[in-house]
Amino acid sequence: MNAEEKDPKTVEDNNKIEEIDDEEEDDLDELEQFDFLEAEFTMAIVRMPSPTLADGLSMSGHGRPDYSLFLQQHLSYTAVLRSLGLKIVKLPSLAEFPDAHFVEDVAVVTPEVAVITRPGAPQRLGEIEYIREVLAEYRPLAEISEPGTLDGGDVMRIDQSVYIGQSERTNEEGARQLAEILGAYGYETHIVPLAEGLHLKSSVNFIGRDTLLVTEAWANHPLFVEFNKVVVPPNETYAANTLLVNGRLLTPMGFPETHALLREAGFELLEIAASEIQKVDGGMSCMSLRL
């Protein structure tokens, strides 16, 4: 289907893809367009939040999210990705799956392959049926099969190394299957058991320059001794989920100690309001698939 032949604000069914034009109007202030020499990512896939999002899974204890404010924060996040040179593929909301806007959990995408996951929360298993056809346009597909479970939030890729968190959402079999799939493409994989936290990337994230942003519990992990580290203060652990996109760091607003540490280390930050995103256990990485 040619995206130019349809109204970008119209969604006729859940299988259609909307490509956001660079001139799409929204209520956000115009963001600065950044120049960069080498872009790792050229595209991001996002899914619009559903009004049912407050019925999604959450362990945050921060209360129910406000849908209108969540939508505004999601639009801000998408606009920042677009300002960094990424073409945005926008998928429609799925009312029956209130967590579906956390689209990273249903796939792991590398330059060679897109792996359809098998989310560890039973309520989210149906989401994979709505991402398979989308990703087939851009990558060969592989899939995690039963009894394996895998959430994309447990997968951190750093060049040719992939770290797979074994968590409540990703079991040993799911991690093993992903390691086998990616190993066929030359990736070195490491399975990392988690003692706490929802996902691996809730606590550990690669931010460029051979550096990890980590919580205190991961600061001395033997698997990561080769990396420089910026350690998030104990009262700002949510900020650990900071996302590197084309040389900039997307980071949640409201965590001044972490931001000061990152700026002192020479990183450029783009702060994004995330109060409602945090309420439903979301972060900077989980709301998009970057290609």
The pLDDT of residue 18 is 52
**pLDDT score of 58 more than 70:** no
Q: Return the domain boundaries, the chain.
A: 40-290
Catalytic residue annotation? 199, 286
pLDDT at residue 117 above 80? yes
pLDDT given at position 196: 82
Query: 13-36 burial, b for 16+ CB within 10 Å, e for fewer?
Result: ebeeebbbeeeeeeeeeeeeeeee
Residue entry with tokens 């959990």: 105
Strands 211-214 and 228-231 turn out to be parallel
Q: Give the global pTM.
A: 0.88
At residue 278, φ and ψ (nearest 5 deg) are -65, -35
At 152-205, the pLDDT tens digits run 999 999 999 999 999 999 999 999 999 999 999 999 999 999 988 889 999 999
Q: Which of 164, 155, 151, 157 is nearest to 118 (CA)?
A: 151
Q: What angle do CA 192, 262, 202 make, to 5 degrees?
A: 30
The whole-number average pLDDT for the span 55-72 is: 82
Structure confidence by residue, pLDDT tens digits, 220-269: 999 999 999 999 999 999 999 999 999 999 999 999 999 999 999 999 99
62 confidence band (pLDDT: 50, 70, 90): low
Q: How confident is the model at residue 54 (pLDDT cuts 50, 70, 90)?
A: confident
* Cβ atoms of residues 246 and 266 within 8 Å: no
In the chain, the largest separation of any two C-alpha atoms, in whole Å, equals: 54
- Mean of per-residue pLDDT scores for the chain: 88
Can you tell me the distance from the alpha carbon of 213 to that of 232, in angstroms, rounded to the nearest whole number?
Answer: 7
Q: Both tokens of residue 182?
A: 């990616």
Q: Is the pLDDT of residue 27 over 60?
A: no
Q: Where are the alpha helices (DSSP H) in 162-242?
A: 172-183
Top-level class of domain 40-290: alpha beta
